[in-house]
Every structure is written in structure tokens, then in C-alpha cells.
Amino acid sequence: MKVIILWSLIFVLAITCIALKRHIRWLPLLLVIVMVTFFSLLSPEGKLLGEFLGLHITLGALLSGLFRSGILVFLQLFSKIAISSKIPLPGKAGKFIKAVFADYEKLTSEKFLLKGKKLKGIMEAIDERLLTVWNEENL
């Protein structure tokens, strides 16, 4: 039941993100769902639903994987909505949270792993992007 409620909330958040015109990369979210659910299936628990290529697919492991991946997707979509909201947050904690969301938005606003048509080294690309954001803030 909790999996159904969680995925219903994710559906509402996805519709809200689309309505607010927030940029969401759907392929990485889909990969998170597939990979977390797959690795959850490696530790079978509960009622056996079937077998696929020697892998026992059980109800407990499937629900556990869908719940865990749902939490990650929920947090990603919620952070996209929280960034766009104009909710005033009082005090030092509010300033800190606003700064974290602003940095998150800057870091995820553009694709930085591709340079031209060539895939750059992941760590090099992340370092360059972090330095760019850092330099923008400290000018």
C-alpha cells in the first residue's frame, strides 16, 4: 500500500514539475528506478512471482525495490519544485537552505559532461562545473 501511495505522490509531483516548466531529465530517473529495483531483486524475499534468466523474482523484493527507487525519484522531483518556490524561510537555516537549493539549481541547470560531441572525463567535467559555480558566487 505504501508503494502505491508513494508512486501516486510521484505522479502528482511530476505533473507539478511539468506545469511549473521545470527541466527534468527523465532518462536518469528511469535508470534509477530500473537499477535500484533490479539490485533489490538480487536478495529475494516473500512470495515467488516467477523466474527470469535464473533470477527469482519475489513480491517482497520487487516492492522493496520500487519503494527505494520511489524515494529517490520523489526527492529529486521535490527538490526541483522546492527550488522554484518563493517560500520565505526565516533565519540562518532558511538562508542556508536557500543557498543549497540555488547551488543545486546551478549545478543541474545544464549538461556539462558533453563537450562538443565528445564525452569528457566525468570527474574532470564535475570539477570544471563546480569551479564555474564557485567562481560565479565569489565574484
- What's the per-residue H, E or C state across 53-79? CCEEEEHHHHHHHHHHHHHHHHHHHHH
What's the pTM value of the predicted model, to 2 decimals?
Answer: 0.65
> What would you report as the CA-atom Rg of the chain, rounded to the nearest whole angstrom?
19
Per residue in 51-100, pLDDT tens? 888 888 899 999 999 999 999 999 999 888 876 556 677 888 888 887 77
Max distance between CA atoms of the chain, in angstroms, equals 59
- Half-sphere exposure (Cβ direction) of 65: Cα atoms closer than 13 Å: 22
Tell me the C-alpha distance between 120 and 27, whole Å. 19
Least confident segment among 5-14, 88-97, 123-132 = 123-132
Please give the span between the terminal C-alpha atoms of the chain, in angstroms, as a whole number.
50
For residues 4-15, average pLDDT: 94
The predicted pLDDT at position 70 comes to 95
